[in-house]
Structure 1
Amino acid sequence: MTRHLYLISGMGADERMFQHLRFPGEYQVHVLHWLPPRPDEPFTDYAARMAAGMATNGPVTLLGLSFGGMISLEIARQRPIEKNIIISSIKHTGERPPYFNWARKLGLYHLPDQLLFRRRHAIVKHFMNVETPEEDALLRDYLQKKDFTYLRWAVNTVLHWENEFIPPSLVHIHGGADLTFPLKFVKPTYTIPDGGHFMVMNRAAQINGILARELEDL
């Protein structure tokens, strides 16, 4: 029987983030691409528009990376999900690092584009735990995008995200060295001790082992 697996990448990223992942042969793999947000669009409404891109009405498996993990949980509120897998993400408000709350209270997301989004390669590279030239080249490509409307909406959404809904089928894979969402604030199902926020690229072998076990158990 063919099963459907939908991938949702991290903020501003695309399916290249999943290039090293491998899935059991019975899965038909799809990508849910980010959509341009509407002005002041609530996260729930945005998730509904993303979910409308699914080709099947039956239960599916979602795999969300970072911000994509958060939106996968919003989708899981709205339609049947067979299994919800998040990688390098958070699953409820209590796992959001304190510095996110500080940024929200200080209103840093209101800074001009030139300060908030330009010349940010060094700090983003650090928090992404980038390790190889291949990863750095991919990050640079993502950072060249000038769709600051989407980025501003996404940053604002992350800082204000409130969630206590945890799907019973949730699998949370996290890195012990993640700087964006530090492990001390997160309680994952699986921990890759030396994995950082970019571990989907550089710890794919370990992640693939977990995926094989979790997806073949369905």
Structure 2
Amino acid sequence: MSKIAVYFMPGLAASSAIFERIALPEDIFEIHLLEWEIPQKQESLSAYAQRIALKITQPNPVLIGVSFGGIMVQEIAKYLTVAKVIIISSVKSNLEFPRRMKIAKTTKAYKLLPMRLLLNVENLARFSFGDTVRKRLQLYEKFLSVRDLGYLEWAVQQVILWDRTTVDTNVIHIHGDKDDVFPIKYISDCIVVAGGTHVLILNKYRWLNTHLPAIILGTYQPTPRR
């Protein structure tokens, strides 16, 4: 029997190293790690998603994305036949954005962000993963690999201006109840990970390793949060 291909997409500015603690049964699953590429000049989110989709060569894959990677895999799924789309610490539409992100879109305040300052790993860690990472800078030095100014400007704009308002009900959403980037009070219909922060891919990897196989296979029975 052929193995189930599972493709992982990391969060904003992160490398696939964030998945190094994720282990799926090797007799059932085949893990593939995707990386961010530098966007082309004025490249749309759709065009970028199509470009990344070309790297997914296995049939009927499972796509798993974290944070901005969760947005990306939902866009990639438009161009492929996929078995499942699973997002972690992310959103299913812009209706799940916190107020500050909606205000940033309306006021275009995101254009005022000092992107050059974010190239510093400490600032980038706070921006990408929230304020709770100050004691983990050595760890994030390893995981935050994309420090290209053009990429950061592009990525932030793509998140803020994401225009999806209709949720794909087939998307499976895993979210921590302590997420400070996408607070859970704005999130609906998700599998809640107690104590999970925006970086639950790192600090709740044991939960994921225990439950992801069943979630992928469709045998996990969550209680949706509404």
For the superposition of Structure 1 and Structure 2, which TM-score range results when normalised by the shorter chain?
0.7 to 0.9
Percent of aligned pairs with the same amino acid: 29
Report the equivalent of 1:200: 201
TM (norm. structure 1) is 0.88
Q: C-alpha separation between the residues in 1 aligned to 2:115 and 2:165?
A: 32
Say whether the 8 Å CA contact 1:128–1:198 is kept in structure 2.
Answer: no
TM (norm. structure 2) is 0.85
Moved over 6 A (4+): none
- Structure 1 residue runs of 5 or longer lacking an equivalent are none
Q: Partner amino acid for 2:93?
A: H
Q: What displacement does 1:42 show?
A: 1.0
Q: Residues 23-172 of structure 1 correspond to what in structure 2 (within 5 A)?
A: 23-25=24-26, 26-56=28-58, 58-111=59-112, 112-114=114-116, 117-118=119-120, 120=123, 123-124=126-127, 127=130, 129-130=132-133, 135-141=136-142, 146-172=147-173
Q: Partner amino acid for 2:43?
A: E
Q: Deviations over 1:163-215 (max 9, x none)?
A: 14544532110000000000000114210121100111011111222202112
- Structure 2 residue runs of 5 or longer lacking an equivalent are 220-226
Q: What displacement does 1:122 show?
A: 7.4
Report the equivalent of 2:210: 209
Q: Partner amino acid for 1:156?
A: Q
Q: What displacement does 1:142 show?
A: 5.1
Q: Deviations over 1:18-70 (max 9, x none)?
A: 111121322111112111101111111100000001122x2110010000000
Query: Across the two proteins, how many residue pairs are aligned to each other?
Result: 215
Seen in structure 2, the aligned counterparts of structure 1 residues 35 and 114 have a Cα distance that, compared at 3 Å, is: closer
